[in-house]
Amino acid sequence: MPSIRHSQRSAATELFLLAFCLFLFCGCKDAFKVEDPQLKPIQTMLEQKLPTGTNQGMVEQFLSARGYETEPAEKPGTMVAVIRHVDPQLLRPVTARVTFYFDANGRLNTFELVRIANAPVPEPQPQQQ
């Protein structure tokens, strides 16, 4: 007959494993939600324009068409971009470093935003003839 202490430990372990599995299967999508109110417009735009499942080529095209810089990815299956947004009401800029995470089939799983220092907007280079 198992001791009470052993059964309490077993129940606690099972509860922990259940909570962990729920986090993995249900909570991962919300794991990268931002709290910074200035980053929320960037997050909302990306959620609307690049839903989960978007292929990597479409993400690259989206970033390129809007002139967002990309950086070398740190890990396979990721893409990194720098997105600058200006609040139209306050005219206050905010810049985010966004890491996009893709599955083995090149489909978007999620993305993570981190606020970075605002850099000056690059001046357009004159066309040489």
Query: Would you list the domain boundaries of the chain?
Result: 33-116
- The pLDDT assigned to 26 comes to 42
- Judging by DSSP bridges, how do beta strands 69-71 and 93-102 pair with one another? unpaired
pTM beyond 0.95: no
112-123 pLDDT, tens digit each? 999 999 866 666
- Tell me the three-class secondary structure of 9-75, residue by residue: HHHHHHHHHHHHHHHHHHHHHHHHCCCCCCCHHHHHHHHHHCCCCCEHHHHHHHHHHCCCEEECCCC
Band (pLDDT 50/70/90 cuts) for residue 10 is low
Token reading at 104: 């083995």
**DSSP SS3 for 6:** helix
60-101 pLDDT, tens digit each? 999 999 999 999 988 999 999 999 998 777 788 999 999 999
Average confidence (pLDDT) over 38-58 = 95
